[in-house]
Amino acid sequence: MTYRIEVDKEICISSGRCVAEYPERFRFDDEEVAEGVPGAPALPDDAALRLARACPSSALLVFDADTGEEIDIFAS
Ligand code: SF4
């Protein structure tokens, strides 16, 4: 399975954790809200889950890249 992460920009609190840890994959927009870097390669699945679980506002949503189904990051 390959996971895809999206930032819910409505609930990101700009902690910077994802940007600091994976600057090639996440960046801040003009309002200091995180977003994915276009065209960046996907994280390995275990890293995607770990990062999403570490987001302090649960703004990193994980999806199955094939089906588009959202993954329950705490049950996976
Ligand atoms: S870790 Fe979460 S709250 Fe922090 S910048 Fe990234 S998406 Fe926003």
**Stretch (H or E) spanning 5:** strand 3-7
Amino acid at 2: T
> Is CATH 3.30.70.20 the classification given to domain 3-64?
yes
pLDDT over threshold 80, residue 76: no
Closest residue by Cα to atom 6, ligand 1, is 18
Q: Which residues line ligand 1 (CB under 6 A)?
A: 7, 12-19, 34, 55-57, 59-60
pLDDT in tens, 15-64: 999 999 999 999 999 999 999 999 999 999 999 999 999 999 999 999 99
Atom of ligand 1 at shortest range from CA of 12: 8
CA-to-CA separations, 72 to 6, 10, 56, 58, 65, in angstroms, rounded: 14, 19, 16, 11, 14
* Contacts of residue 64, Cβ cutoff 8 Å, sequence gap at least 6: 1, 2, 3, 4, 70, 71
d(CA 40, CA 13): 22
Q: What is the pLDDT of residue 27?
A: 98
**Domain positions in the chain:** 3-64
